[in-house]
Structure 1
Amino acid sequence: MSALKWQGWLVGLVTLAGLLVFAPLGLYVWASGGPSDGAGAPRPALEGVRVTGCRIDPASRRVVAGVEAAGRPEGPGAYVVTVEFRDTARAEPGGRSAESLVRIPGVAVTATEHAEALGPVWPVATVPWCGAAAATFTPVEPRP
Structure 2
Amino acid sequence: MSALKWQGWAVGLTVLAGLLVFAPLGLYVWASGEPGAAPPRPAVEDVRVTGCRIDPGSRRVVAAVEVAGRPEGAGAYVVTVEFRESATPDPQDRPAQALVKLPGVAPSATEHAEALGPVWPAGRTPWCGVAAAEFSSGPTPAG
Contact 2:62 2:117 in 1 (8 A): yes
AA aligned to 1:110 is: S
Provide the rounded CA distance (Å) in 2 between the counterparts of 1:78 and 1:92: 31
In structure 2, the residue matched to 1:33 is: 36
- After superposition, residues 46-85 of structure 1 pair within 5 angstroms as 46-85=44-83
Q: TM-score, normalised by structure 2?
A: 0.69
AA aligned to 1:81 is: V
In structure 2, the residue matched to 1:113 is: 111
Q: TM-score, normalised by structure 1?
A: 0.69
- Identify unmatched segments of 5+ residues in structure 1: 1-30
- Identify unmatched segments of 5+ residues in structure 2: 1-33
Aligned residues: 108
Provide the rounded CA distance (Å) in 2 between the counterparts of 1:64 and 1:110: 25
Q: 2:124 aligns with which of 117, 123, 126?
A: 126
Provide the rounded CA distance (Å) in 2 between the counterparts of 1:119 and 1:125: 17
Q: After the TM superposition, list the runs of 4 or more consecutive aligned residues in structure 1 that deviate by more than 4 angstroms.
A: none
Residue by residue over 1:27-80, the C-alpha shift from the partner in whole angstroms, topping out at 9 and shown as x without a partner, is xxxx9334xxx4xx3110000000000000000000000000011133101100
**Alignment root-mean-square deviation, CA:** 2.0
